[in-house]
Chains A and B, each alone.
Chain A
């Protein structure tokens, strides 16, 4: 069983579209995250979410929004996609934010054309 799974693995879409990336974890963790890795390979935190609060990195455009239907899921919604949104998006989870316990998904490569 994959601990943190993301779907789809690849996503190609046109500018202006709205898309979602799904993330599920079966580790029983209480905190989930979204990261963006751009073409320069820098990993940037976008969101941190547990059942108490959402922490947003101030550099993230408000076109991006996380949605959590339950503790095991944190989906990423992106509105009005732009070319600059092309990147690999990683979902991760941890228990109580323990730094050693982060588990990452395998990533979703988003290409906006």
Chain B
């Protein structure tokens, strides 16, 4: 699986857009970009994923650069409840190694009033 690099922490004002970057310069053609988040004391929660095109769902938007070497998760109107650790994961959709999902250090997003 490709390695990802995320800033360890970020702040965002409530109501503003939170833009969380992720670098994955060694991504392979068949690897997707996935985002999960972990709110304090809870299990991780899936947010969104994409391969090449930008994606949007009810939680967030995912912008992937044309060369696919980096991406940005956008929370359009951050709320206090979005305070969490956000994990960017690059992986093939399926693999034979038990399909295990590996988490890095993530970005700790603090949304402030």
Contact = CB atoms under 8 A, between A and B. Distances in A.
Nearest to A105: B43
Nearest to B108: A41
B contact patch SS: loop
B100 A45 contact: yes
A99 B44 contact: no
Interface string B45-86: 110010000000000000000000000000000000000010
Contact of B34 (A33, A41, A99, A107): A99
B43 A107 contact: yes
B43 A55 contact: no
A102 B44 CA distance: 9
B89 interface: yes
Interface string B34-47: 10101001111110
Interface of B: 32, 34, 36, 38, 41-46, 49, 85, 89, 91, 93-95, 97-103, 105
13 contacts: A33-B100, A42-B103, A44-B103, A48-B98, A90-B43, A97-B95, A97-B99, A99-B93, A99-B101, A100-B34, A100-B46, A102-B46, A104-B44
Given A57-B100, A106-B43, 7 more contacts: A53-B98, A55-B98, A92-B44, A97-B100, A99-B49, A100-B34, A102-B101
Interface of A: 4, 31, 33, 41-45, 48, 53, 55, 57, 90, 92, 94, 96-107
